[in-house]
Amino acid sequence: MWDAVTNLPVGSSQAFKKTALLFSHMKKFDLVKKEIEKILPNSPLAEELVHARLVLKWLLKLNPNAGELLQIAALAHDIDRAFTGITEKDLKDYSRINEFKKEHAARSAKFICKILDKQGYGKKEIEKVKRLVENHEVGGDKESGLLMAADSIAYFEYNVPFYLKRNGADNTKQKIRFMFNRLPEKAKKIVQKIKFKNKEVAELFRETIGIMPDVDAYSSPESYKKFQNLRPDYAKAIAKSVELAGKHTKNHSNLVLADFCCGIGSNTKKFADSVGGIRKATLVDINAGFLNKAKESKIKAKELAIKQTDVLEAGLDKECDLVFSIFAYHHIPTEKKGKYIEKIKSCLKPKGLLILAEIYLQNKLEEISYYNALFNSVPKNKVVPGLKKFLEQTAKSNDFEFKVSKEFADKQFLEFGFVKLEEYKIWPLKDPSNPSRGAFVQVYRAPAV
Ligand SMILES: C[S@@+](CC[C@H](N)C(=O)[O-])C[C@H]1O[C@@H](n2cnc3c(N)ncnc32)[C@H](O)[C@@H]1O
């Protein structure tokens, strides 16, 4: 005799019933996973199945105890594409992205609910998966937040080259921004550590997010500031830059300044403080976290313009009396350095002033020996954990550091019509073997036209 409700022999023990129930649940879960995995390859996106598996992998890394329903949502969150064929290529106007994503999530929820219903999942369980999948793009509660984070990490780990190929660089930048900005800090750190094998993707990520995976300190304004201020080349170059900017400018309450690759804006702040305030400061940097810090730093300027962008793309008016380029020129790839100088020229008034602080080194060997000597010059009692790694990463970076010789830079600024007014070697001062190697502060005047 069989029990009509449990489908087990009448008189089965409680323990037997429990085990049988668990077993039938595992079987359902397995069947659902198999069905999803069979459907996903029907998607027009070749990466669909691998992506879904990676989302599940990251979900379980972020929370090894993630339950069965959350795991199902992870695997099935994009399942609608396998049924409808609708992808972001069908989104003609990117400003509609949020609506589009909402519709996509709702469609996926509908499809997975049907599968769960067929496999005998209960109403409450189906409702839960529905809610998780519907919210996978936006989060909202702890579990959908985890799903959203796992989705983004998996996207960065695997999908970007596919997306780029289908949608082009501009849309990919928007997508990168969307997928990154929605992440909680912990997940952002995981993404920042991803080493993109595809050079174009690495460049797009750098341009969009502005944080270099190969120098950790750029992911936090606090650690960046802490490390930089310990460096004798950096600290002395900033002090000299501020002093020279004050010496070569006048009428400060009416002065307009642009700070190229401003970091946390501390140079502009120091200068504005030292002259009792200025009229306008435009801060340009690619790193949103740094700019947030700059915004809060109470710079003494009647007007403050913040531009989070690749400096080469920044829209700037020809209104500046002064440009700061402080440890910035070497972050611009060598073949684009000319465009960078053009950008400085385009925002400086005729005969405007440029303060250029730079480190001139000719090759990787010189860089490694420079940063080694720099570390050794920091008094032992001032060394903080992470400083050595920061300097080593900076020396070795291939993605973010494009240092050139002083001869190269001097010639290039001259070619663009800049006139050098004065220059100072900052560090190392005891290096007679090569006087043009090291950190310098140079003062230039822009051409008269
Ligand atoms: C060495 S830091 C110098 C920051 C600041 N000038 C200072 O002295 O503290 C370099 C800065 O350049 C920014 N950066 C690098 N490449 C950039 C780019 N292409 N466009 C805008 N900012 C960039 C980084 O985000 C970083 O804040």
Q: Which domains does the chain have, with CATH numbers?
A: 14-209 (1.10.3210), 219-445 (3.40.50.150)
The closest-lying atom of ligand 1 relative to the alpha carbon of residue 207 is 19
Please, where are the H alpha helices in 210-309? 221-228, 232-248, 266-274, 288-295
Q: What is the mean pLDDT of residues 189-199?
A: 86
Q: Which residues are 71's β-sheet partners?
A: none
Q: What is the pLDDT of residues 263-308, one digit of tens each?
A: 999 999 999 999 999 999 999 998 877 888 999 999 999 999 999 8
Residue nearest ligand 1's atom 14 by CA = 261
H/E stretch holding 116: helix 97-118
Q: What is the pLDDT of residues 333-391, one digit of tens each?
A: 899 999 999 999 999 999 999 999 999 999 989 999 999 999 999 999 999 988 998 89
Mapped to the 3 state alphabet, what secondary structure does 138-186 carry? CCCCHHHHHHHHHHHHHHHHHHHHHHHHHHHHHHHHHHHHHHHHCCCHH
Q: What is the pLDDT of residues 91-100, one digit of tens each?
A: 878 778 888 9
**pTM of the full predicted structure?**
0.66
Centre of ligand 1 to C-alpha 117, Å, is 54
Q: Supply the DSSP symbol for 334.
A: G
Rounded distance, CA 101 to CA 112, Å? 17
Mean pLDDT of the chain: 90
Q: How confident is the model at residue 109 (pLDDT cuts 50, 70, 90)?
A: very high
Rounded distance, CA 66 to CA 80, Å? 23
Burial group, residue 385, by CB count within 10 angstroms (0-12, 13-18, 19+): exposed
Tokens representing residue 210 in the block: 């502005």
Centre of ligand 1 to C-alpha 228, Å, is 12
Backbone angles phi, psi at 348, to 5 degrees: -90, 140
Distances 247 to 152, 178, 244, 277, 443 between C-alpha atoms, Å? 49, 44, 5, 15, 11
Q: What is the pLDDT of residues 7-56, one digit of tens each?
A: 555 666 665 556 555 556 668 999 999 999 999 999 999 999 999 999 99
Tokens representing residue 275 in the block: 């002259």
Rounded distance, CA 36 to CA 395, Å? 47
Burial group, residue 60, by CB count within 10 angstroms (0-12, 13-18, 19+): middle
The closest-lying atom of ligand 1 relative to the alpha carbon of residue 228 is 9
Centre of ligand 1 to C-alpha 345, Å, is 18
- Greater model confidence, 205 or 427: 427
Centre of ligand 1 to C-alpha 260, Å, is 7
Tokens representing residue 396 in the block: 């070795």
Q: Is the CB of residue 326 below 6 angstroms from any atom belonging to ligand 1?
A: yes
**Which residues of 60-156 form beta strands (DSSP E)?**
none
